[in-house]
Amino acid sequence: MKSLSVILPAFNEEANIRAVVEDAYRTVPKIAPIFEIIVADDGSKDRTGEICDRLVEELSNVRVVHHPQNRGYGAALKSGIRLARHDLIFFTDADGQFDLNELATLLEQSNAYDIVAGYRARRQDPPHRLLFAWGWNILVRIVLGVRIRDIDCAFKVFNRNVFDRVQIQSVGAMVNTEIFAQVSRFGMTVKEVPVTHFPRQHGESTGGNVAVILKAFRELIKMRRKVDSISAVIRRVRRLQVRQESCDKIILSTPPSVRKIFDREPIPSE
């Protein structure tokens, strides 16, 4: 049985965070006896940070990292990953929209795949968010060639060694797209699994915020440029490899008597 780090990025979730952490504390030990729960409080302006500090005092294996100010979903996730100590890294949102019992299904696949990614079988969000999500998935496929059914679904398990190679630079909502853009180029394996999604009961989501969406588009453009630069370098390296292979073939096809002339050591000067 592998050990598990559970990461909960949170921003202004005072109405949800205690119930979600306590649910994780009850559920996770049944499927991963060696575990930790890390809450990444991303500069919340409500009582989220205060409630998290109390949970750390009340429950063992619970830790919290506080950002002095809101830095974005990607930054919160990165802080949690940096603190994670166990074999598997799982993250989900702190809004209570997922069934943590379904984590067991993902863990069953974690030995065979680098990443096990949940996708919302029936997404319980307002119509405008469903439209944004559909358009975003199509755009990511066109721009980056990443083909994940529900790329922003916050219910994923990663083998720890994924983050030995994948480097998170995005600070906002683009983080999932950035991870899977790198994963596809490293040839890592991904298994997609359907999961249940519940309507949000308390608080407000920032996923449909115009500023968040515009920031994600800016990061997508930057990532596309980065991918183009990396692809150009890869093409140059491949051309050099082809040239080297051609030179090697020419040398090998040269008669031994001629090769001896080039291999002969130079006559030392007096």
Give the span between the Cα atoms of 105 and 133, in whole angstroms. Answer: 25
Give the span between the Cα atoms of 158 and 113, in whole angstroms. Answer: 9
- pLDDT number for residue 225: 62
Residue appearing with tokens 């830790």: 63
Beta strands 35-41 and 62-66: pairing type? parallel
Beta strands 4-10 and 62-66: pairing type? unpaired
Contact 7, 38 (CB under 8 A): yes
Q: Give 185-232 pLDDT, tens digit per residue.
A: 888 999 999 999 998 877 565 555 556 666 666 666 666 666 555 445
- pLDDT number for residue 199: 84
Q: What's the chain's length in residues? A: 270
Helix (H), strand (E) at residue 110: none
Give the span between the Cα atoms of 162 and 184, in whole angstroms. Answer: 12
Weakly modelled stretches of the chain, pLDDT under 50: 230-231, 233-234, 237, 262, 265, 267, 270
- pLDDT number for residue 55: 97
Q: Where are the alpha helices (DSSP H) in 6-95?
A: 17-31, 48-58, 73-83
Largest Cα–Cα separation, the chain: 92
Query: Residue 66 pairs with which residues in a beta bridge?
Result: 41
- pLDDT number for residue 231: 46
pTM: 0.73
Q: Which of 67, 52, 44 is nearest to 204 (CA)?
A: 44
Dihedral of alpha carbons 68, 166, 235, 148, sign: negative
Burial degree of 83 (CB within 10 A; 0-12, 13-18, 19+): middle
Residue appearing with tokens 């050099």: 240
